[in-house]
């Protein structure tokens, strides 16, 4: 089963009017226009933007021209595209994360010792969002980078992050976003998945083998704050043909745990 595109939202999701005087509809529509662009649609016409967001052509035009005046959108003949300035919005989030500044040296040590890709992600609803990634070689059919999203229930980092939730929050996420199969190995029974997440919580790491893609396996550990709460997850991923699942854990878990503890200690000193 092919993976979903990363990470365009469903058309119209961001422009739904919410009741109350705290909802600024024009701002929500502007965000919907920004989010409409992505790897599948780096350039769009006015009509395509309007169709993608559910806006009228006039409304989409006003927003696009406003974004162009602010430097966030470029216009080439009749096609619009985001500019590098849009990265300022994401950098404002990343630069405010102590983890983003502290984790990279330890990730580099993991990638060097394992010679495999190493990533750090956080939980956003039912998804993991990559905030750091060091890729040694491509092991997936899609390109992963900072900002990429994947479903939490079928990834090692996601299961680590889900294991850090209380039972009510975990039940809510799995109830609103039931697990679906990406490969024949994917766990789709909610009860079985919760048992795996409980094992993850107990043993302090997660292992996923061929559940997201047939040739992919990974192992992940939590990164915790001063209070012991899981705030992120770090993983090493590799092609399933290079290691047995047991050999992968034996080869990668010690390096991951050492790096995570170093990051945790650095966070405690801040």
Q: What is the pLDDT of residue 97?
A: 65
Q: What is the pLDDT of residue 119?
A: 92
Q: What is the pLDDT of residue 123?
A: 94
CATH fold for domain 1-83: Arc Repressor Mutant, subunit A (1.10.10)
> Residue 218 — φ and ψ, nearest 5°?
-155, 160
Q: What is the pLDDT of residue 8?
A: 40
Assign 205 to helix, strand or coil.
Answer: coil
- Looking at domain 97-269, its CATH superfamily turns out to be GAF domain (3.30.450.40)
Mean pLDDT by 10 residues, the chain (270 residues): 40 45 82 88 93 93 93 90 85 67 87 91 93 71 75 96 96 95 95 97 96 94 92 93 92 96 87
Q: What is the pLDDT of residue 2?
A: 40
Q: Which of 158, 92, 90 has its CA nearest to residue 120?
A: 158
Q: Which two tokens stand for residue 263?
A: 């990051």
Q: What is the pLDDT of residue 147?
A: 83
Fold agreement between 1-83 and 97-269 = no
Q: What is the pLDDT of residue 55?
A: 94
Q: What is the pLDDT of residue 141?
A: 47
Task: Write down the domain spans for the chain.
Answer: 1-83, 97-269
pTM for this model (two decimals): 0.74
Q: What is the pLDDT of residue 262?
A: 93
């Amino acid at each position: 089963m092919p993976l979903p595109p990363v990470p365009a939202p469903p058309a119209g999701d961001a422009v739904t009017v919410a009741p109350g005087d705290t909802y600024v509809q024009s701002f929500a529509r502007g965000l919907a226009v920004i989010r409409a662009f992505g790897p599948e649609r780096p350039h769009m016409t006015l009509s395509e933007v309007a169709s993608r967001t559910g806006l009228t052509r006039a409304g989409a035009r006003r927003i696009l021209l406003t974004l162009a005046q602010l430097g966030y959108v470029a216009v080439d003949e009749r096609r619009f595209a985001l500019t590098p300035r849009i990265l300022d919005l994401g950098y404002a989030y990343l630069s405010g994360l102590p983890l983003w500044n502290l984790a990279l040296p330890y990730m580099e040590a993991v990638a060097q010792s394992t010679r495999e890709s190493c990533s750090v992600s956080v939980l956003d609803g039912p998804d993991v969002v990559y905030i750091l990634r060091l890729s040694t070689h491509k092991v997936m059919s899609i390109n992963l980078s900072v900002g990429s999203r994947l479903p939490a229930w079928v990834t090692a980092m996601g299961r680590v992050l889900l294991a850090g939730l209380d039972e009510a929050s975990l039940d809510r996420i799995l109830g609103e976003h039931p697990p679906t199969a990406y490969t024949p190995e994917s766990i789709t029974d909610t009860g079985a998945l919760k048992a795996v997440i409980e094992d993850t919580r107990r043993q302090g790491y997660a292992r996923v083998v061929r559940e997201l893609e047939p040739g992919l396996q990974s192992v992940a550990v939590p990164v915790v704050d001063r209070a012991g709460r899981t705030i992120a997850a770090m993983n090493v991923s590799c092609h399933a043909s290079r290691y047995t699942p047991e050999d992968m854990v034996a080869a990668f878990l010690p390096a991951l745990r050492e790096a995570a503890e170093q990051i945790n200690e650095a966070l405690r000193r801040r």
